[in-house]
Chains A and B, each alone.
Chain A
Amino acid sequence: MPEGTVNQGIGASVRRKEDKRFLIGKGNYTDDINRAGQLHVYFLRSPVAFADIVSINKQKAEKASGVAAILTGEDVAADGLGGPICGWVPTNKDGSAPSEPPHPILANGRVRYVGDHVAAVFAETLDQAMSAAELIDVTYSEMPAITDLKTAIDSTQIHDGMENNTYFDWELGDEAATNDAFDKAATIVNVDIRNNRVIPNAMEPRAAVADYNTGDGRYTLFTTSQNPQLTRLVIGAFMLNIPESKFRVVAPDVGGGFGSKIYVYPEEAVCVWASKKLGRAVKWTADRTQAFLGDAHGRDHISEVKLALDKNNRITGLRVDTLANLGAYLSAFAMVTPTYLHGTLLSGVYDIPAIYTNVKGICTNTVNVDAYRGAGRPEATYLLERTMDVAAKQVGMDPAEFRRLNFIPKDAFPYQTAVALQYDVGDYEPLLDRAMAMIDYANFESRRAKSAKNGKCRGIGISTYIEACGIAPSAVVGALGGRVGLYESAVVRVDPTGTISVLTGTHSHGQGHDTTFAQIVCDKLGVGIETVEIVHGDSDRTPFGMGTYGSRSLAVGGTAISKALDKVIAKGKIIAAHMLEAADADIEFKDGKFTVMGTDREKSFGEIALSAYVPHNFPHDRLEPGLEETSFYDPLNFTYPSGTHIAEVEIDPATGVVELVDWVCCDDFGNLINPMVVEGQVHGGIAQGVGQALYEEAAYNDNGQLLSASYMDYCMPRADHFPSLKVENLVTACTHNDLGVKGCGEAGAIASPPAVINAVVDALSPLGVTDITMPATPQKVWQAIQAAQTKAAE
């Protein structure tokens, strides 16, 4: 870096470039986009969970003012349209293929959850479309709703041809070896785990604006997507049969996704389809109720966990049997989330010789469930970290020391787990030690005693987590049933005047890529951050890429950028060698200057860029003009961020209210590009995990009605729920990508729920409480105390 310049490179806490446009209202979201002559579409949704549609009478509605058309499942069938597809399909344990029942984009003859799409009403205004929808007369023949995971298997078939309402029955690990471990165990720990169902609640609800141009036969779709290229592929190739070159998908500014905007839903496809069919642009924006009813929910597992210990309290075996509620239809990554993103994480940070897991994916009359911040890994971490606490208690060890005893030792890397993954690097003890020091773990009991004096129950809870990020090596993905590759792409386009555009296949919807990706460029090329633009989200501009989820954007997409930058530098060196009349090998690139080593002869980066585009004095015999390089990077392995989070809570036993009083964490994300952005990601993740642990619950009643379908009943975490979060990092650099980075987007949400619940149970254990399910609401805590007291009295 040239002297005197502010460090804007790797490791600098540069302020987020994108925030200005968001803060002054100059963001450009899908709902900000309007097309001339557009129609508005409103979706009439099923008010019942499970029913055959006897008839749909739309005559009166079609005559209502402003109505252009009303389309139903019959129209979808007549046009031969496909539905959303599943992107990753693991094989059943008996070797057969899972069930993939069709998902028509407008219900055809049967509705399967409250909110299922029954008709699409197109009108000049949204109000007109809504009024017309009220005039549609639908007759349903209702069937009893199936909402309970445990009884769903024995209930009426929701999809014809799919037995036991089971999408798949999958296993991983060595069952015989695991059984053997239990046969020989000195201690067996049994824990029942429920991972509660949550609703993603991105700040911006989903939206779409679709336009078909009869002149050139091209479609344009603006939509709230985390991966516009995938959306284009799925809608174009699998649903509507549109040649990709005739289809542009743009995901402009997107206000949060948390997984829910990975998938293609019926609404976006209906907009695209109708824009040609009706010859008018079509706009749809979900309101909050539609978001509650229609966006893919997260989690919703029931697991039975068994842990085997030897006489020294070393873990020798783990068995996990899980039922995963996937909802009424299969969403894109619904099958991989509870299988390969869950089962493979069951070893956690522990050396466990034998693991076996069986997961059944269950269909119910509820909205689809799919990946939600962390995707499978929070579920695995929660059950494992809860079990670690229960086990420690059972054998009378301090939970921190029980964990330490079972950590994979530092010198065991690369470490092959019993569940397929190979961890490249990690060092777990220093993370635990640092977090314990940060919260003053040693003196916790005196704090507990002080709280007790005030009538409060204080507890402390540890979570030592690992996650597999940087998704993912394509060959591995393919071998495990993935239908996509999970490489990432980047184009580094240097302009004649030396400004730089980076075109990435990832998508930023809160992660801060405009800033962090630019920092990689600043670091490598020695330019100022204002000269760098990050371009994402437009299929006409960016190379084909897989989008943003699974904490992959930096580890995979950032590495692609780094590699493209290396190519730019390599080409620049040849140009510089030519201009400086030196050998290639003698050119050194540093701080934005190409120098003949050991001399003061140099060319600036700008001079090289100019000469690439005004190639008068140029090595034409060796190079083509221009300075633009592309890289497609396919990762060699997952990355493995890890860390320790410790929560301290204080509970008012008179009301059951849990107050979070302290939070510390020490994470290992590998090298950090922007520590401030990382801290922000960790804060957000913790808040989401705390939300799941204490407040959030998607509650369906027996009729399949979503009871928590608004913020009046669905409790989100709020700023006043939190103490100041203390966030620190230690680094073991990832060994297999150029930047040594691992990813940080999901860590907080993965680590935090068990830390909270372990703390709550610890706080209540003096009262005899041994377990509590998420969310630990005041009522649940109070009831647990009552039940423990009743039991004690007996």
Chain B
Amino acid sequence: MYSTKYVKAKDIDDAATIMASAEDGKFLAGGMTLIPTLKQRLANPDCLVDLSACGLSAINDDGSSIRIGAMTRHVDVAESALVQKAIPAIADLAGHIGDRQVRNHGTIGGSLANNDPAACYPAALLALGGTVHTQNRSITAEDYFDGMFETTLEEGEIIREVSLPKPEKAAYVKFPNPASRYAMVGVFVAKFADGVRVAVTGAGEDGVFRASDLEAALDANFSADAIADGTVSADGLMSDIHASAEYRAHLIGEMTRRAVKACG
């Protein structure tokens, strides 16, 4: 890796100040994505601003939603009694990210800031209609994602916490990429009083997306049988050595059926 400067910020304001004075700085959360990128010389930041001492790892219940601090690690979400009770699908999702080492370091903020098209949390945020809170503002899920690896976060903007509304029922089912075990297709189904939301990750050419056809089918009949083969079109889906767009389209339908079943 290129040599760089490392600074541990005291709090979120300190982090923002340090970042403002850097030419091309990067926030460092769990480092699970950023450090390999640096090691491969794919990024050359002049400063790493470590967020781990900014007090951003807490999980709270505010009645209608849960709020998870940006620096909360996947393992803490997975093991949180609060999350397990309020939105068990989130605990389950976090518990199946990567491997134990990754879960012991990786954070929800890092995952959402990175917006990897194969990451799991983006599907949760979008399906639950959650909100990303930064030091300056709150961004709804609909406005947050901006294509593969892109978000509407501005330069220097720090995710502080994420709020996720509690659904009546929800489940996330991931079909892992055989090699990386990221989502090759991941489907998050959330049933609210006012309707069903389905978000798909791992498959879209522009990253995570809401599957309106599936939502309509499930709004009419919240059952696995509602998803007929061929409901999902292959248009706009990724093709790579592991899965063609057609296979991904099929898997979206199949994972949706499984998610609906898992909703109970």
List A contacts of B3 (CB < 8 A).
127
Pairwise interchain contact A715-B179, C-beta atoms closer than 8 A: yes
CB contact list, A129-181 vs B, under 8 A: 130-131, 134
User: Within 8 Å of chain B (Cβ to Cβ): is A241?
Assistant: no
CB contact list, B151-198 vs A, under 8 A: 175, 178-180, 182
User: Within 8 Å of chain B (Cβ to Cβ): is A190?
Assistant: no
**9 CB-based A-B contacts, threshold 8 Å:** A131-B2, A654-B254, A655-B175, A713-B241, A713-B242, A715-B179, A779-B243, A779-B247, A783-B244
CB distance from B174 to the nearest CB of A (A): 12
- Known contacts A654-B254, A777-B178; is A707 also within 8 Å of B241 by CB? yes
List A contacts of B58 (CB < 8 A).
none
10 more A-B residue pairs beyond the given contacts A712-B179, A783-B244, with a C-beta to C-beta distance below 8 A: A127-B1, A134-B41, A289-B40, A654-B254, A655-B175, A655-B254, A697-B241, A714-B179, A779-B243, A779-B247
- Known contacts A130-B41, A655-B254; is A779 also within 8 Å of B244 by CB? yes
Write the B207-247 contact mask toward A (1 if CB under 8 angstroms, else 0): 00000000000000000000000000000000001111001
Write the A102-142 contact mask toward B (1 if CB under 8 angstroms, else 0): 00000000000000000000000001001100100000000
User: Within 8 Å of chain B (Cβ to Cβ): is A699?
Assistant: yes
Pairwise interchain contact A708-B175, C-beta atoms closer than 8 A: no
Measured CA separation A200–B247 after assembly (Å): 29
List A contacts of B244 (CB < 8 A).
779, 783
Which of A127, A699, A782 interacts with B241 by CB under 8 Å? A699
User: Within 8 Å of chain A (Cβ to Cβ): is B105?
Assistant: no
List B contacts of A712 (CB < 8 A).
179-180, 182
User: Within 8 Å of chain B (Cβ to Cβ): is A695?
Assistant: yes
Interface residues of A (CB under 8 A from B): 127, 130-131, 134, 289, 654-656, 695, 697, 699, 707-708, 711-716, 777-779, 782-783
List B contacts of A715 (CB < 8 A).
178-179
Measured CA separation A707–B242 after assembly (Å): 11
List B contacts of A655 (CB < 8 A).
175, 251, 254
| Chain A residue with the shortest CB-CB distance to B179 | A715
| Chain A residue with the shortest CB-CB distance to B244 | A779
Measured CA separation A447–B244 after assembly (Å): 33
List B contacts of A130 (CB < 8 A).
41
List A contacts of B175 (CB < 8 A).
655, 778
Measured CA separation A599–B79 after assembly (Å): 74
Write the B34-69 contact mask toward A (1 if CB under 8 angstroms, else 0): 000000110000000000000000000000000000
Measured CA separation A479–B197 after assembly (Å): 72
Measured CA separation A130–B3 after assembly (Å): 12
Pairwise interchain contact B179-A711, C-beta atoms closer than 8 A: yes
CB contact list, B116-171 vs A, under 8 A: none
Which of B2, B180, B242, B250 interacts with A777 by CB under 8 Å? B242
- Known contacts A127-B3, A712-B179, A714-B179; is A783 also within 8 Å of B254 by CB? no
List A contacts of B1 (CB < 8 A).
127
B3, B175, B179, B247, most chain A CB atoms within 10 A: B179
Measured CA separation A655–B242 after assembly (Å): 13
Pairwise interchain contact A127-B178, C-beta atoms closer than 8 A: no
CB contact list, B1-23 vs A, under 8 A: 1-3
B2, B178, B250, most chain A CB atoms within 10 A: B178
CB distance from A575 to the nearest CB of B (A): 59
Interface residues of B (CB under 8 A from A): 1-3, 40-41, 175, 178-180, 182, 241-244, 247, 250-251, 254
10 A-B pairs closest in CB distance: A715-B179, A715-B178, A712-B180, A779-B247, A699-B241, A713-B179, A779-B243, A654-B254, A707-B241, A714-B179
CB distance from A455 to the nearest CB of B (A): 12
List A contacts of B179 (CB < 8 A).
695, 708, 711-716
- Known contacts A130-B41, A777-B242; is A783 also within 8 Å of B178 by CB? no
Pairwise interchain contact B2-A782, C-beta atoms closer than 8 A: no
- Known contacts A655-B175, A779-B242, A783-B247; is A713 also within 8 Å of B180 by CB? yes
CB distance from B245 to the nearest CB of A (A): 11
CB distance from A711 to the nearest CB of B (A): 6
CB distance from A469 to the nearest CB of B (A): 32
CB distance from B164 to the nearest CB of A (A): 28
Pairwise interchain contact A782-B250, C-beta atoms closer than 8 A: yes
| Chain A residue with the shortest CB-CB distance to B118 | A712
List A contacts of B41 (CB < 8 A).
130, 134
- Known contacts A127-B2, A131-B2, A699-B241; is A778 also within 8 Å of B254 by CB? no
List B contacts of A716 (CB < 8 A).
179
Measured CA separation A715–B250 after assembly (Å): 22
| Chain B residue with the shortest CB-CB distance to A778 | B178
CB distance from B5 to the nearest CB of A (A): 15
A707, A715, A716, most chain B CB atoms within 10 A: A715
Measured CA separation A708–B178 after assembly (Å): 12
Measured CA separation A739–B180 after assembly (Å): 45
CB distance from A704 to the nearest CB of B (A): 15
Measured CA separation A713–B175 after assembly (Å): 15
List B contacts of A131 (CB < 8 A).
2
List B contacts of A714 (CB < 8 A).
179
| Chain B residue with the shortest CB-CB distance to A696 | B179
List B contacts of A289 (CB < 8 A).
40
CB distance from B228 to the nearest CB of A (A): 14
List A contacts of B242 (CB < 8 A).
713, 777, 779
Measured CA separation A740–B244 after assembly (Å): 52
CB distance from A700 to the nearest CB of B (A): 10
CB distance from A731 to the nearest CB of B (A): 38
List A contacts of B180 (CB < 8 A).
711-713
Pairwise interchain contact A708-B251, C-beta atoms closer than 8 A: no
Which of A695, A699, A707 interacts with B178 by CB under 8 Å? A695
CB distance from A194 to the nearest CB of B (A): 16
List A contacts of B243 (CB < 8 A).
779
| Chain B residue with the shortest CB-CB distance to A714 | B179
| Chain A residue with the shortest CB-CB distance to B40 | A289
Measured CA separation A67–B130 after assembly (Å): 52
List B contacts of A779 (CB < 8 A).
242-244, 247
List A contacts of B247 (CB < 8 A).
656, 779, 782-783
CB distance from A126 to the nearest CB of B (A): 10
Measured CA separation A655–B187 after assembly (Å): 14
Measured CA separation A656–B247 after assembly (Å): 10
List B contacts of A783 (CB < 8 A).
244, 247
List B contacts of A134 (CB < 8 A).
41
List B contacts of A699 (CB < 8 A).
241
List A contacts of B182 (CB < 8 A).
712
Measured CA separation A716–B175 after assembly (Å): 17
A134, A711, A712, A716, most chain B CB atoms within 10 A: A712
Measured CA separation A777–B179 after assembly (Å): 11
CB distance from A460 to the nearest CB of B (A): 23
